């Protein structure tokens, strides 16, 4: 396996998929493989080692979901109660019903209140503008910031449909992070450090780099019109007003491997339990009924392709995890969980049959793990999670779990 995976990484770097890559394979018992290839910053000569720190984007969502579910276990959040009882601003949320003759938004109250279950399953009506034409138009008409600004105003956009009536990937888990902060009385990062990342030994994971993390951080790169890569500077938001529970963490593959091992061990790792086994089972099972995941059609081709993980195959959503409802074309069985665009595959059943990794010529294997690669010279930064396929211009952090 080491020879095969080392080869995948090296080949990906050689063909210019990314400046550098790290990769991790874990099971319940420990780390089966860690590797790296390429450079942290192209042309720097600094090797991309397994302890490299990168932005983990939407892999943050599962950590936020775990934090919210801890509070559900404690009876401090009702999974199906109105979320506005904890975050009052959600009580004034409206549904966008189109635009009038002057191009101004038409809104109405939602038919039902938003709940934490809606937020964690992406059935709340909150979306990402990068994949929703009405949301993109709403931002253009109103001039309101999107989520990457880290302004509280970015959370106040309208719903695109009534809660519980459809699925669309979006900023709902950022709102779940706001619920965690409201109930706990501390910032999301402080909550993680005390209740999740700290107890799990994820010492190189946080919303802000420690000095040690900064020394090992991978650069962000831009891909020019000719396909070449170069490091670019992305200044942080001037006045961040919240920590982005949907995509703001930085960390190492090794740290995230510990989080996944906790999931594989039903909420416990190395004698430390952070969630109950029945909670993990709920998180990794369908929590949206007959609704199914739909393809996301890009509204910003410079930042994202159309996005669908396991295209055309039936998928539901658990409490932050996508669920394969049927055996996948890659050979993954029904019940495999992961995220769109973030190549994390968590197969709890594989622990029982020790199935080998797919061959390198399958679509899933062809995409190695990498730090973010962004196009330059465009109007906006990409959303925290962008779909990508063969030939993508954006490559996100990924992790395999066997």
The predicted structure's pLDDT at residue 283 = 95
Contact 173, 240 (CB under 8 A): no
Query: Which of 46-55, 243-252, 343-352, 390-399 comes out lowest in average pLDDT?
Result: 390-399
Residue-level pLDDT at 359: 34
The full set of domain ranges for the chain reads 2-401
pLDDT of 139 higher than 70: yes
Alpha carbons 170 and 121: distance in angstroms, whole number: 10
**Between residues 350 and 367, which one has the greater pLDDT?**
350
Active site residues: 58, 61, 169
pLDDT score recorded for residue 380: 34
**pLDDT tens digits, 156-212:** 999 999 999 999 999 999 999 999 999 999 999 999 999 999 999 999 999 999 999
CA nearest to 82, candidates 109, 116, 111: 116
Residue 274: strand, helix, or coil: coil
Closest of 340, 341, 306, 332 to residue 402, by C-alpha: 332
Name the DSSP letter for residue 222: E
Region 306-324 average pLDDT: 92
Q: Which helix (H) or strand (E) holds 400?
A: strand 399-401
DSSP reduced 3-state for 339: coil
> Residue 354, SS3?
coil
Q: List pLDDT tens digits, range 329-348.
A: 888 788 777 754 344 556 55
For residues 193 and 96, give the distance between their C-alpha atoms in angstroms, rounded to a whole number.
Answer: 37
CATH architecture of the domain 2-401 equals: 3-Layer(aba) Sandwich (3.40)
Closest CA to 309 of 324, 299, 319, 320: 324
Percent of the chain residues topping a pLDDT of 70:
84
Q: What is the pLDDT of residues 246-280, one digit of tens each?
A: 999 999 999 999 999 999 999 999 999 999 999 99
Cα–Cα distance for residue pair 10/47, rounded to 1 Å: 12
pLDDT at 240: 92
Exposed (0-12), middle (13-18) or buried (19+): which is 365, by Cβ within 10 Å? middle
What is the SS3 assignment for 67? helix
Pick from 402, 327, 317: nearest CA to 365: 402
Average pLDDT, the chain: 85
Whether the pLDDT of residue 375 is over 60: the answer is: no
Which DSSP string corresponds to 240-251? --S--TTT--EE
The model's pTM: 0.86
More confident residue, 319 or 368: 319
Task: Give the burial class of 299: count Cβ atoms within 10 A of its Cβ; 0-12 exposed, 13-18 middle, 19 or more buried.
Answer: middle
Write the pLDDT tens digit of every residue in 95-132: 999 999 999 999 999 999 999 999 999 999 999 999 99
d(CA 86, CA 81): 10
């Amino acid at each position: 396996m080491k020879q095969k995976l080392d080869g995948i990484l090296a080949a990906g770097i050689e063909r210019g998929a990314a400046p550098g890559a790290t990769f991790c394979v874990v099971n319940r018992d420990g780390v089966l493989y860690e590797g790296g290839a390429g450079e942290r910053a192209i042309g720097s000569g600094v090797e991309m080692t397994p302890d490299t720190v990168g932005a983990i984007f939407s892999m943050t969502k599962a950590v936020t979901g775990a934090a919210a579910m801890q509070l559900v276990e404690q009876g401090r959040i009702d999974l199906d109660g109105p979320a506005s009882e904890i975050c009052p601003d959600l009580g004034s949320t409206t549904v966008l019903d189109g635009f009038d003759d002057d191009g101004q938004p038409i809104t109405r109250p939602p038919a039902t209140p938003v709940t934490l279950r809606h937020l964690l399953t992406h059935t709340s009506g909150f979306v990402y503008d990068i994949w929703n034409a009405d949301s993109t138009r709403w931002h253009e008409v109103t001039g309101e910031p999107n989520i990457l600004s880290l302004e509280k105003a970015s959370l106040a956009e309208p719903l695109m449909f009534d809660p519980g009536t459809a699925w669309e990937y979006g900023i709902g888990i950022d709102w779940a992070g706001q619920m965690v902060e409201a109930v706990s009385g501390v910032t999301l990062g402080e909550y993680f450090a005390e209740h999740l990342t700290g107890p799990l030994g994820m010492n190189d994971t946080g919303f802000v780099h420690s000095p040690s993390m900064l020394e090992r951080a991978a650069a962000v790169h831009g891909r020019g019109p000719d396909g070449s890569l170069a490091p670019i500077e992305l200044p942080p938001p001037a006045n961040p007003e919240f920590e982005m529970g949907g995509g703001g963490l930085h960390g190492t593959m090794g740290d995230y491997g510990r989080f996944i091992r906790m999931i594989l061990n039903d909420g416990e790792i190395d004698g430390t339990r952070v969630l109950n086994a029945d909670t993990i089972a709920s998180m990794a099972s369908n929590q949206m009924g007959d609704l199914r995941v739909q393809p996301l059609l890009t509204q910003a081709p410079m930042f994202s392709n159309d996005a669908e993980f396991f295209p055309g195959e039936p998928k539901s959503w658990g409490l932050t995890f996508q669920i394969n409802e049927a055996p996948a074309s890659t050979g993954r069985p029904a019940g495999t969980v992961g995220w769109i665009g973030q190549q994390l595959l968590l197969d709890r059943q594989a622990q029982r049959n020790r199935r080998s990794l797919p061959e390198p010529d399958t679509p899933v294997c062809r995409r190695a793990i990498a730090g973010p690669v962004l196009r330059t010279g465009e109007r906006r930064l990409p959303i925290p999670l962008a779909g990508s396929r063969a030939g993508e211009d954006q490559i996100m952090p990924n992790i395999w779990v066997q």
